[in-house]
């Protein structure tokens, strides 16, 4: 559109500029022509005026001269015809003489004042008096008559001595003569008489007219020469005070016998010659110019109007073109065409788009269109048209099926405008037919899918409501209406706030409004008291479309109950598990305590003189005790794992030495069972590795132990350890324990590592065990970042593999670790302990067996110890006698070891003792608790002699260091 308007503006501004330029040019041309024409005209005027003046001056001059001459001739004739006796002879003659005088007088009245006839004897004069009477006067002599010798002309007779003297008035004569000429108001009539200028004014000649010297000189010269002339000069009329540049015309004449220079001079104000024409011309020209400007302005306006009109026209044309283009486009896009029908329903014309829409030629369609309409609709259509015409309806729309040229039937829609005359008679119609086949099919599909949706919604067990955006119920799909507050049909048209009870309604409305505002699905749970009791509903609210919201409510009462039951069950299981762990821990403690005493005493018993049989029996008791101890340890380990309390205790150790030690442990058994136990290293195995040594040991003891257990006599066991450096200072250690044993059935492989699982679970089973070894090993391996894998074939053998990540020790760090490693293994001569490390020791123990064992143990070490049976006794002992070291049982009646330690530590000097806790509880938190109460160390029962010895030794060195003396 923008481009278009620019182009229109450009179209206008081009000619417009030219038009203005042309207008200016025309005005200029006209002014120029007007001026030139004026110039020519005024010159012409001047010329013709000059001509006129020249002629007039000549006429005047000639007239004057002629009249004067005739008077002269008359006088000459008069005088020549006079006789001396004329007047004396007869009265008739006298009369004739007088008549003649009178006639001359009459002829030259303006010139002649009086005529004096000089007879020899008398003088006779004639003149007219004031009353215009002709008066004749006799004079005795000429002397009587006053003569001034200026204005008389004397005529003397040639034949006698008679004389006539004529008194003339030249002034009157000339002015009378000049009065015959009319030159116009702007001209002056002058008479030149011997260098003087006399002007004609009121039938008289008067002075007061001055010409510039130069002109006057020229004129004087010309007159003297007797030449007429035309001049230009400055003229001043002192009578009127006018002063102007004048054109001057002069014509000399002769007044003989007056010997003077005479001329008639006509003077005309030069300006005034043209001023008349100037004013007329200017006003005419101005008028014309104004007319021209007016015409140009009108033309201009007309042009502008035309341009504006053109512009509007062009815009309108563009708009119409655009409209046509759009209409065509619209028709093409909407697959439609326009048609016209007359009052009879015959088609008069149809748009060419018909071919694109239906495939028919225009003419063909006009002729046969009625046959193409599906017969199913004809009647309905005709009825509609008839009804509409009857009711003077202006527009109608109708859908029907029509057959295309190619035979296809399509759905079309017509939209017709019906036309009527003023009287309401139907004139015909104009209509648009559009192909709506695709839309129709889509609609049909939508209806089908809506029906399907409806069917689905109807079959859903949920409670479905549809609302408008204000929360008014519009529709519902509900199977079981028994849970509703009121029958669903009654809620239609009502709002949520009306239908639902308070406070549920406001609560629900809150979610509803949020759904409308955010357009996001909202989920809410509601507890509702229904006729059937309390029920839980989960409701989802979402926008169905722009105007509607749908809620789907589902009865989740059952689900909730189930969830609650599950939660309770989990809680119960957790509690049971905890109880199990606690039970395991307690049981192991309870078993450990007597076992501790048993093994301790056996240990002591070994050192007494015994017979061979006794020694054998003791060995059996010891072995049984050890395996019982192992079982308890396993159970304890497992319950620790279960409780998530197992932690890694890292230490640096000589890897190959440790492996060798483990293999050595099993060598006795392997020889006994005639099993070939071999081991091998591959890859890079560093000398020192940082790992949880005890756990590695335990894993290997379990796996190699199992291999030995489940491999029959003459079998083979091979342990392969592969090292693979990883990153800078790490190593992946891969272990394979391969046996040629009984193998494991495939279906048992998966569950093997579960606790308490044994392949042969029968009472009559051949192999002993708890079924915990693999479970513990698997957990340890996973704790160290590895994985346990089992590969086995029944009656062929099994391979247990795992890999773990360790840390390689460099040479520098190795020195330190080797030192600490060496320092960590005390090699004590515990039989002379008391002599070497003299200390005052208190044993706090409530259990009689343990007490006995500890007493015996301490005696063997050479110490005489103090004894307390509970916490209170311990405190008493501390107060009474000086002590260095206290072995304190944790679980005791009255006051337990932890509390007793706290009290002792608070007493004066209570800091000085070394307190070592003793307990069958080996959980980490037990140790932590003991240390927190103020104990220095913690030993788990059954206590081993080397452990006790080590504690005593370090206590001695520490006290020596702090106290200096012992």
Q: Which residues sit at the interface with ligand ADP, rule CB under 6 A?
A: 702, 706-707, 710, 739, 741-742, 744, 752, 757-760, 769-775, 798
- Cβ distance to ligand ADP smaller for residue 431 or 769: 769
Q: Taking the complex as a whole, how short is the minimal distance between the CB of residue 802 and ligand ADP, in angstroms?
A: 13
Q: Is residue 227 a contact partner of residue 252, using CB atoms and an 8 Å limit?
A: yes
Q: Taking the complex as a whole, how short is the minimal distance between the CB of residue 799 and ligand ADP, in angstroms?
A: 9
End-to-end CA distance of the chain: 114
Report how far residue 241's alpha carbon sits from residue 223's, in angstroms, rounded to the nearest whole number: 27
Q: Taking the complex as a whole, how short is the minimal distance between the CB of residue 923 and ligand ADP, in angstroms?
A: 22
Q: Is residue 198 a contact partner of residue 209, using CB atoms and an 8 Å limit?
A: yes
Q: Is residue 208 a contact partner of residue 199, using CB atoms and an 8 Å limit?
A: yes
Q: Taking the complex as a whole, how short is the minimal distance between the CB of residue 626 and ligand ADP, in angstroms?
A: 15
Secondary structure string (H, E, C) spanning 325-367: HHHHHHHHHCCEEEEEEECCCCEEEECCCHHHHHCCCHHHHHH
- Cβ distance to ligand ADP smaller for residue 409 or 756: 756
The number of helix segments (H) and strand segments (E) in the chain equals 25, 34
Phi/psi zone of residue 797: left (φ > 0), alpha (ψ -120 to 50 degrees), beta? left
DSSP codes joined into one string, 738-751: EE-SS---HHHHTT
Q: Nearest residue to ligand ADP, using CB?
A: 769
Report how far residue 369's alpha carbon sits from residue 363's, in angstroms, rounded to the nearest whole number: 10
- Cβ distance to ligand ADP smaller for residue 188 or 634: 634
- Cβ distance to ligand ADP smaller for residue 742 or 915: 742
- Cβ distance to ligand ADP smaller for residue 707 or 904: 707
Which has the closest alpha carbon to 51: 266, 227, 320, 255? Answer: 266
Please report, for residues 96, 236, 377, the alpha-carbon distance to residue 222 in angstroms, rounded to integers and kept in the order given.
Answer: 45, 21, 124
CA 234 from centre of chain: 90
Q: Taking the complex as a whole, how short is the minimal distance between the CB of residue 634 and ligand ADP, in angstroms?
A: 8
- Cβ distance to ligand ADP smaller for residue 403 or 758: 758
Q: Is residue 229 a contact partner of residue 240, using CB atoms and an 8 Å limit?
A: no
Q: Taking the complex as a whole, how short is the minimal distance between the CB of residue 749 and ligand ADP, in angstroms?
A: 10
- Cβ distance to ligand ADP smaller for residue 435 or 634: 634
The β-bridge partners of 476 are: 465
Q: Taking the complex as a whole, how short is the minimal distance between the CB of residue 704 and ligand ADP, in angstroms?
A: 9
Q: Is residue 833 a contact partner of residue 949, using CB atoms and an 8 Å limit?
A: yes
How is residue 472 annotated by DSSP?
B
DSSP codes joined into one string, 134-189: EEEEEESSGGGS---SSSEEEEE-SSSS-EEEEEE-HHHHHHHHHHT----TTEEE
Q: Taking the complex as a whole, how short is the minimal distance between the CB of residue 709 and ligand ADP, in angstroms?
A: 6
Q: Taking the complex as a whole, how short is the minimal distance between the CB of residue 705 and ligand ADP, in angstroms?
A: 7
Q: Taking the complex as a whole, how short is the minimal distance between the CB of residue 757 and ligand ADP, in angstroms?
A: 6
- Cβ distance to ligand ADP smaller for residue 702 or 921: 702
- Cβ distance to ligand ADP smaller for residue 262 or 800: 800
Is the peptide bond between 198 and the residue preceding it cis, with omega within 30 degrees of 0? no
Q: Taking the complex as a whole, how short is the minimal distance between the CB of residue 672 and ligand ADP, in angstroms?
A: 17
- Which residue carries 């046996």 as its tokens? 739
Q: Taking the complex as a whole, how short is the minimal distance between the CB of residue 666 and ligand ADP, in angstroms?
A: 13
CA 679 from centre of chain: 76
- Cβ distance to ligand ADP smaller for residue 410 or 631: 631
- Cβ distance to ligand ADP smaller for residue 741 or 917: 741
Lateral strand order in the sheet of 409-420: 347-350, 336-342, 426-435, 409-420, 395-403
- Cβ distance to ligand ADP smaller for residue 76 or 749: 749
């Amino acid at each position: 559109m923008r481009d278009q308007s620019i182009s229109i503006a450009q179209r206008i501004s081009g000619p417009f500029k030219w038009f203005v330029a042309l207008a200016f040019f025309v005005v200029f041309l006209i002014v120029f022509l007007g001026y030139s024409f004026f110039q020519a005209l005024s010159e012409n005027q001047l010329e013709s005026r000059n001509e006129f003046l020249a002629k007039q001056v000549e006429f005047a001059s000639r007239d004057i001269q002629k009249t004067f001459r005739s008077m002269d001739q008359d006088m000459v004739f008069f005088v020549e015809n006079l006789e001396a006796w004329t007047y004396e002879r007869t009265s008739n003659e006298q009369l004739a003489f007088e008549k003649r005088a009178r006639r001359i007088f009459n002829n030259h009245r303006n010139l002649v004042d009086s005529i004096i006839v000089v007879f020899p004897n008398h003088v006779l004069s004639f003149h007219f008096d004031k009353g215009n009477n002709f008066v004749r006067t006799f004079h005795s002599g000429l002397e009587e008559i006053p003569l001034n010798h200026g204005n008389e002309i004397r005529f003397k007779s040639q034949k006698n001595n008679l004389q006539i003297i004529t008194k003339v008035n030249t002034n009157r004569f000339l002015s009378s003569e000049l009065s015959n000429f009319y030159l116009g108001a702007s001209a002056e009539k002058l008479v030149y008489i011997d260098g003087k200028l006399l002007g004609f004014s009121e039938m008289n000649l008067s002075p007061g007219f001055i010409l510039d010297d130069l002109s006057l000189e020229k004129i004087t010269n010309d007159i003297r020469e007797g030449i007429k002339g035309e001049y230009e000069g400055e003229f001043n009329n002192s009578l009127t005070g006018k002063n102007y540049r004048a054109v001057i015309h002069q014509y000399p004449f002769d007044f003989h016998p007056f010997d003077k220079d005479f001329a008639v001079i006509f003077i005309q104000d030069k300006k005034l010659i043209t001023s008349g024409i100037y004013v007329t011309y200017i006003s005419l020209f101005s008028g014309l110019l104004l007319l021209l400007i007016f015409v140009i302005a009108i033309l201009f306006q007309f042009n502008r109007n035309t341009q504006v009109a053109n512009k509007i026209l062009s815009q309108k044309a563009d708009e119409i073109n655009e409209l046509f283009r759009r209409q065509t486009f619209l028709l093409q896009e909407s697959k439609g065409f326009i048609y016209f029908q007359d009052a009879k329903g015959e088609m008069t014309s149809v748009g060419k788009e018909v071919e694109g829409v239906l495939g028919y030629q225009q003419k063909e369609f006009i002729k046969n269109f009625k046959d193409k309409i599906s017969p199913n609709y004809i009647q309905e259509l005709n009825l509609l048209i008839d009804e509409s015409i009857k009711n003077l309806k202006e527009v109608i729309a109708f859908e029907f099926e029509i057959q295309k040229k190619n035979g296809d039937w399509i759905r079309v829609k017509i939209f017709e405008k019906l036309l009527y005359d003023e009287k309401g008679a139907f004139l015909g119609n104009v209509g648009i037919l559009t192909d709506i086949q695709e839309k129709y099919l889509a609609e049909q599909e939508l209806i089908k899918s809506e029906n399907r949706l409806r069917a689905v919604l109807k079959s859903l067990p949920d409670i479905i409501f549809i609302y408008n955006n204000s929360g008014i119920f519009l529709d519902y799909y509900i199977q079981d209406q028994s849970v509703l507050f009121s029958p669903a049909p009654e809620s239609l048209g009502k709002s949520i706030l009306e239908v639902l009870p308070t406070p549920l309604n406001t609560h629900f409305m809150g979610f509803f409004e949020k759904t409308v505002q955010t357009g996001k699905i909202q989920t809410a749970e509601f507890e509702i008291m229904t006729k059937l009791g309390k029920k839980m509903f989960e409701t989802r609210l979402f926008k169905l479309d722009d105007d509607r919201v749908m809620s789907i409510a589902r009865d989740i009462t059952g689900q909730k109950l189930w969830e609650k039951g599950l939660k309770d069950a989990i809680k119960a299981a957790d509690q049971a598990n905890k109880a199990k762990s606690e039970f395991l821990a307690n049981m192991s403690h309870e078993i450990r305590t007597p076992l501790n005493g048993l093994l301790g005493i056996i240990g002591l018993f070994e050192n007494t003189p015994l017979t061979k049989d006794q020694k054998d029996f003791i060995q059996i008791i010891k072995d049984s005790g050890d395996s019982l101890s192992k079982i308890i340890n396993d159970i304890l380990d497992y319950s620790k794992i279960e409780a998530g309390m197992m932690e890694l205790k890292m230490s640096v150790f000589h890897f190959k030495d440790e492996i060798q030690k483990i293999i050595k442990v099993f060598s006795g058994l392997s020889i006994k069972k005639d099993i070939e136990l071999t081991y091998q290293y591959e890859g890079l195995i560093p000398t020192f590795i940082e790992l949880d040594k005890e756990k590695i040991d335990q894993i290997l003891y379990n796996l190699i132990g199992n291999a030995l257990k489940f491999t029959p006599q003459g079998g083979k066991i091979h342990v392969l350890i592969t090292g693979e450096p990883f990153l800078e200072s790490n190593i992946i250690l891969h272990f394979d324990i391969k046996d040629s044993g009984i193998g494991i059935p495939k279906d048992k492989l998966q569950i093997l590592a579960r606790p308490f699982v044994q392949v042969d679970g029968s009472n009559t089973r051949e192999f002993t065990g708890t079924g915990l070894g693999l479970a513990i090993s698997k957990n340890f391996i996973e704790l160290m970042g590895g994985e346990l894998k089992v590969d086995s074939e029944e009656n062929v053998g099994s391979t247990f593999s795992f890999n773990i990540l360790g840390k390689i020790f460099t040479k520098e760090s190795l020195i330190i670790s080797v030192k600490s490693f060496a320092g960590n293994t005390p090699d004590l001569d515990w039989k002379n302990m008391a002599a070497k490390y003299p200390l005052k020791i208190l044993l706090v123990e409530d259990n009689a067996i343990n007490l006995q064992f500890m007493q015996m143990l301490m005696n063997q070490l050479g110490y005489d110890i103090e004894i307390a049976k509970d916490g209170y006794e311990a405190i008493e002992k501390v107060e009474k006698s000086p002590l260095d070291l206290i072995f304190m049982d944790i679980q005791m009646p009255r006051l337990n070891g932890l509390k007793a330690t706290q009290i002792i530590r608070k007493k004066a000097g209570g800091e000085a003792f070394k307190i070592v806790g003793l307990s069958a509880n080996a959980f980490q938190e037990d140790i932590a608790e003991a240390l927190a109460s103020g104990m220095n160390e913690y030993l788990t029962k059954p206590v081993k002699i080397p452990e006790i010895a080590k504690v005593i030794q370090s206590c001695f060195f520490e006290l020596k260091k702090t106290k200096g003396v012992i």
